[in-house]
Amino acid sequence: MTSSSSITIYRQDYTVPPFLVDHIDLTFDLGPSVTQVKATTRLRHNPESESHDIVLYGEALELVKIVMNGKTLAKSDYATDNGELRIANVPDDVTLVVDTLIHPDQNTSLMGLYLSNGNFFTQCEAEGFRKITWYPDRPDVMATYTVTIRADKEKYPVLLSNGNLVETGDLPNNRHYAVWDDPFRKPSYLFALVAGNLVCREETFKLADGRDVLLQVWVEKNNLDKTAHAMESLKHSIRWDESRFGLELDLDRFMIVAVSDFNMGAMENKGLNIFNTRYILANPRVATDTDYANIESVVGHEYFHNWTGDRVTCRDWFQLSLKEGLTVFRDQEFSADLTGSDSGRAVKRIEDVRTLRQLQFPEDAGPMAHPVRPDAYQEINNFYTVTVYEKGAEVVRMYQTLFGRDGFRKGMDLYFSRHDGNAVTCNDFLAAMADANGRDLSQFERWYSQAGTPRVRLESHYDEKERTLTVSLSQFCPPTPGQTEKQPFLIPFAIGLLDSKGNDMPLRLKGGKDSGTSCILELSDASQTFTFVDVAEKPVISALRNFSAPVILEYEQSDDELLHLLSHDSDHFNRWEAGQRLAARRLVSLTKAVQDGQPLTLDTAFADAFRTVLSDTSLDAALRELALTLPSEMMVAERLDEIDPHAIHQARQFMRRTLAEKLEKEWRDAWDRNRTEGTYRPVPSDAGKRALKNLALSYLLALDNPVYCQMAIEQYNRADNMTDRLAALTSLVHSGCMNRHPEAKALLDDFYREFENEALVIDKWFSLQATSPHAGIETITTLMEHPAFTLKNPNRARSLIFGFCHNNMAQFHAADGSGYEFWSKNLIELDRINPQVAARLARCMDQWKRYIPSLRKPAEQALRHVSEQPLSRDTREIIEKTLSA
């Protein structure tokens, strides 16, 4: 798939569709090499459009014939150009019958209808439906669907589509059929079809209104024993949406299907969610605590789309965050609520903010920076980004911060009452929130239209005589591509004050009422001043509590103040944040010392602070693990004007080794005290203990002591769950013990032999080697030649190539440029197979202009080499923007 030129599509050019679709009948005669598709579509003229042309979209289709209102059209009756088929000057009411042939076994893009392990699957978001039939494939064209599927009964005993099953039967020649009817109007991107040799776990589930519905999780037979957690997660999702938002399942059944070849994590097709197997399959032998948590979150996310994405969808793809940002927020709240504790909610919040800072903040500062609601795109697949999803979720969260849970629920209720069954915009959601809460949110709209991460500077002054604290806030958003000047945002800024003993102080703003011990300051101008009165002593400020807005806080606090917050802040997020700021401050200094050839040292006060947190058993184990995990190399890079990956890596390794030495006894105690007894349970309390224990193990292995190497080997051999086994193996590989201890080296082969038939575990096997700081190009190249490796499977490509290029800074940025050559070679090859996955690999070079000069030149050479190749639209857009930024 190549494109010699790119067409930019602009949000401002949106026009309504000239024709709307009332209903479509789809008939599939399935065959691996040739599948016949017959689409009978009832269209009517849109009174809001002056055009009487029907516009259909198609890609990689073999058109057999088109019949309009009973007349077969000649080629002269329509025009095709660049994936568009236009029939001019048609009557107001049209029945269009389109017969096409498609070739699933040749479809390596995994968009449209394709094969995976001999079974048929579809992926239609964003524009995959046009690979199935000619159709007005745009999200604002919504219709009801009836789908008939015909196939070989022995090869494909299971035939699934959206909605409710209304008819099944046998056909001649050992074939059979199924008819599915979806009574809810939906855009074509939500269409789904699955056919194959699958089995399911199913349960009848009673909804809050008393209705019984059928829940099914479909997988290949050998994976049925790994579906219990997904089913429980689905039931939890249904119950949570009923209680939190009053939203019920609207179909008679809800189906989930797992497939190993899938570009995304999962897809919310109405009533028939299709999932990447990594977000469905779990049992203690093959899945880690993180896998269990991710499955619960993603199952929730796709189920919640039933309302925020399916029942109400986006008018055009520029509004993608309308459904994705909102639904990410909902799945975050779901996971947080299910922890059942304040500390559990804090752990979830910290994890979400870490993702935002590590992935989205760099995107905001790079060549692909774009608003939550983009203004233009060349390839829509490139805008399924952390900005649209995670920053979009933060924008939604700010509504709840401003209005509280009750106010947010009122806004959601109004949104559904106004727009159920329609395709709408981000501004429609904003209007519902504003109207439900009696608030003018016109300024808040800038969060959708302006790109970049705002920076908020805080300055304070305490007047001992007047007992007042003056807090001055100012905001600035750096220029981004296409946006040089920014207007002030409306920023909800949560703040609290701690006294000298670490207690929360009561808050009262001048001229205002008491605000408890935490309040929201609304920063709406370029700079504003707020005065707190009756402040009994000079406080330590706890700023931006719970990360109340997606901004970068610029506030100089001393080590003593940060240590005070780390020890006492009642806001768990800010306790963690204080530790991160202390660590990052030292990592930046250490990085500069490496570059200047200076000796590396780590102060005792910092190590003592770590010791205090590690030994504080009153703190939840999961919180301690997060607080004791150093900022990643990528997050350190974001604090530097010029990125020197090797200096950053050396600085971080020095800090880890020094903390291991100074706290050796405490790490050993943590490993001993946090072992979980009895049957494995993927619950937050046990998962937190395992996380802290395994973090302690990784620190101990930094000491190059054969005793701890043996301890990790014993943990591996005795582990009754994948979390502990994989953590031990990863620590052995990443510490270098594999190169020094024969028994340790044998474990890699042992792990492969035991799990060679478990694809998701073999992904982990590739990934842990790809991300090892000891794994150079030779290691990765050798792994690519392994019989289990293939570029055609996205999970496998991500585990090895992405793992190396995205998550192994020291080795990927090799001084000789070999990492960049490896990237360019595999990017070009992957682009020929699967452009969507290739475009994501291209993103690891976003920051190349910030590299030190010795790396900048080979990086540019690799980028220019790629740009000279025939590329897909997906990848070319990324490469061109990266080079021209």
- Quick check: bond before 536 cis, omega within 30? no
By the 8 A CB rule, do 137 and 188 touch? yes
**Locus of tokens 């809810």:** 184
Half-sphere exposure of 496 (CA within 13 A, CB side): 23
**Residues whose CB falls within 8 Å of the CB of residue 403, separated by 6 or more in sequence, listed in order:** 410, 411, 433, 437, 439
Q: At CA 226, angle to CA 220 and CA 231, rounded to 5?
A: 100
Partners of residue 62 on adjacent β-strands:
101
By the 8 A CB rule, do 848 and 882 touch? yes
Which candidate in 59, 302, 390, 666 is catalytic? Answer: 302
DSSP-derived secondary structure for 409-421: HHHHHHHHHHHTT
Nearest to 339 by CA among 296, 391, 389, 393: 296
Q: Which amino acid, residue 757?
A: N
By the 8 A CB rule, do 367 and 884 touch? yes
**Does residue 287 sit in helix, strand or coil?**
coil
CA distances for 829 relative to 1, 70, 106, 264, 792, angstroms: 12, 46, 16, 20, 10
Q: What is the 3-state secondary structure (H, E, C) of 347-386?
A: HHHHHHHHHHHHHHHHHHCCCCCCCCCCCEECCHHHHCCH
Crossing angle for the helix pair 572-596 and 342-355, nearest 10 degrees?
Answer: 40
Half-sphere exposure of 603 (CA within 13 A, CB side): 10
By the 8 A CB rule, do 724 and 674 touch? no
Tokens of 41: 């579509």
DSSP-derived secondary structure for 586-627: HHHHHHHHHHHTPPP---HHHHHHHHHHHH-TTS-HHHHHHH
DSSP-derived secondary structure for 405-473: HHHHHHHHHHHHHHHTT-EE-HHHHHHHHHHHHT---TGGGHHHH--S--EEEEEEEEETTTTEEEEEE
DSSP-derived secondary structure for 293-362: HHHHHHHHHHHHTTTBTTTBEESSGGGHHHHHHHHHHHHHHHHHHHH-SHHHHHHHHHHHHHHIIIIIHH
**Residues whose CB falls within 8 Å of the CB of residue 753, separated by 6 or more in sequence, listed in order:** none
Q: Which amino acid, residue 761?
A: V
Residue 354 burial by CB count (10 A; 0-12/13-18/19+): exposed, middle or buried? middle
What is the Cα–Cα distance from 158 to 176, expressed in whole angstroms?
10
Question: Is 522 known to be catalytic?
Answer: no
What is the Cα–Cα distance from 766 to 657, expressed in whole angstroms?
26
Active site residues: 302
